[in-house]
Amino acid sequence: MANFPKPRLPRLARARVDGHSAPPSAEPAVEVVEYGGLRWINVERPGPIDQAWLEEHFDFHPLAYEDVRSRNQRPKIDEYPDYLFIVLHFPVFDKALGRLNAGELDIFVGPDFLVTLPNESLQPVEYLFERCRTSEEARDQLFSKGSGFLLYKIVDDAFDYCFPMLRKIGNKLDRLEDDIFQGRSEEVVRDISNAKQEIINFRKIIRPQRPVLRDLERTKQRYLAQEMELYFDDVQDASERIWDMLENYKEVVEALEDTNEQLISHQVNDVLRVLTSISVVVLPLTLIASIWGMNVGVPGEQSDTAFWVIIASMVLLLGGMLGYFRRRGFL
């Protein structure tokens, strides 16, 4: 690889403890782990002070810094002479809103440094950074193989973190199916809508990253030894498995929605059939009562016997029609 000028790495005045640097007591909130000539710098939710610190210590392209400041940046990978700039999105569950949102992770990777800039709290990145910060064994395992392997480990852990979230969605779909066939069709309409929205949001996060991972597959040779090229194939495979699960869940939730609507429609039809049957049964009785209630002379007028005959006829007619509709399954 050609010798390109490298970004100026930060030289922070802080104590060195067990191969890593302790975080500074004042702003900016920059965390650094260094081992074997490789430095990992992590800045969570970078604000104006953090961005100014980065611009002071790294000669990254202004367009890359503009993308870091942007809140609506699509996943992508940009190649520069001596580093890569990568934007990836990962699902983050917002407990306040009760929905999935996209957490953005901006990454600068060079031959001897890696900078991560998550705009949300991404637990897999936090866990891995804390592991490297506190464990010399982890630093030796991850840093000794170069910045490309560390990049792979960060991206791989972030994608692996998606699978527990997908399993929760799958369990939710199983519960919805049980509720539907237990007669709670009307109650689960909102739950089906929420599950469908989760799957849609998950797909919106994962879909744009598939071409980015293919580009990363192409550019990985710059910072990864040849014998380690299969590592990023594993990331691509994980992404495809996530997409296949989302496709399957999309079909399942649509099938559950159709089934639920059919059950609700069937229940409505049952109610309408019963009401129609009652109307048909009552109609002849109403007709008889209307005829003998007219203010004109009718047979049996002023006769108690005729009254009871009419009542008996109406009861017999009612019983006969109820029996007929019951045999036909209308009631």
Q: Which of 54-63, 164-173, 182-191, 252-261 has the lowest mean pLDDT?
A: 182-191
The token pair at 239 is 């992404």
> Is the pLDDT reported for residue 208 higher than 90?
no
pLDDT for the residue 223: 61
More confident residue, 222 or 263: 263
Cα angle vertex 148, ends 42, 68, to 5°?
40
Give phi and psi for 239, each to the nearest 5: -60, -40
Count of the separate structural domains present in the chain: 2
Averaged pLDDT score across all residues of the chain: 80
The Cβ-side half-sphere exposure at 55, using a 13 Å CA radius, reads: 15
H or E, element range at 154: helix 147-160
Query: Is residue 42, in this structure, part of any structural domain at all?
Result: yes
Q: What was the pLDDT predicted at 114?
A: 93
Please check whether residue 108 lies inside any domain of the structure: yes
Mean pLDDT (whole number) for 93-121 = 86
Q: Quick check: 98 pLDDT over 80?
A: no
Distance of CA 266 to the CA centre of its chain: 31
**Sign of torsion over alpha carbons 284, 287, 291, 294:** positive
Residue with tokens 């209307």: 290
Of 149, 170, 204, which one is at a domain's C-terminal end?
Answer: 149
| Residue 75 counted as domain residue | yes
What is the pLDDT confidence band of residue 232, given thresholds at 50, 70 and 90?
A: confident
For the record, the structure tokens of 223 come out as 């910072």
Helix axes 136-143, 147-160, angle to 10 degrees: 110
Domain membership flag for residue 243: no
Domain contains 84? yes
Q: What mean pLDDT do residues 228-253 have?
A: 87
Using pLDDT thresholds of 50, 70 and 90, give the confidence band for residue 115.
very high
Nearest to 218 by CA among 237, 240, 234, 233: 233
pLDDT attached to residue 24: 45
Q: Do both 10 and 145 map to the same domain?
A: yes
> What is the average pLDDT across 113-120?
91
Task: Please state, in angstroms and rounded to a whole number, the distance separating the CA atoms of residues 1 and 223.
Answer: 10
What share of the chain has pLDDT > 90, as a percent? 21
**CATH number of the domain enclosing 79:** 3.30.460.20
Residue 218 lies in a domain: no
**Structure-block tokens of residue 127:** 């866990």
The per-residue pLDDT for 228 is 61
What pLDDT sits at residue 209?
86
Give the pLDDT confidence score for residue 331 in this predicted structure: 66
Is the domain of 10 the same as that of 143?
yes
What pLDDT is stored for residue 23 in this prediction?
Answer: 45
* Residue 238 maps to a domain: no
d(CA 170, CA 34): 40
Phi/psi for 200 (5° steps) reads -60, -45
- State mean pLDDT over 85-95: 87
**Cα separations (Å) of 261 from 121, 172, 253, 266, 315?**
39, 18, 12, 8, 40
Q: Higher pLDDT residue, 260 or 8?
A: 260
Using the 3D structure, point to which of 108, 131, 149 is the last residue of a domain: 149
313 part of a folded domain: yes
User: What is the average per-residue pLDDT within 274-281?
Assistant: 76
User: What is the residue range of 279's domain?
Assistant: 270-327
| Residue where a domain stops, chosen among 134, 149, 164 | 149
- Across the range 284-292, mean pLDDT stands at 77
pTM of the model: 0.73
* pLDDT at residue 110 greater than cutoff 70: yes
Model confidence at 12, in pLDDT bands (50, 70, 90)?
very low
* The most confident of 206-210, 249-253, 311-315, 323-327, by mean pLDDT: 249-253
Candidate ranges 120-124, 220-224, 258-262; pick with highest mean pLDDT:
120-124
Task: Give the mean model confidence (pLDDT) for residues 265-272.
Answer: 77
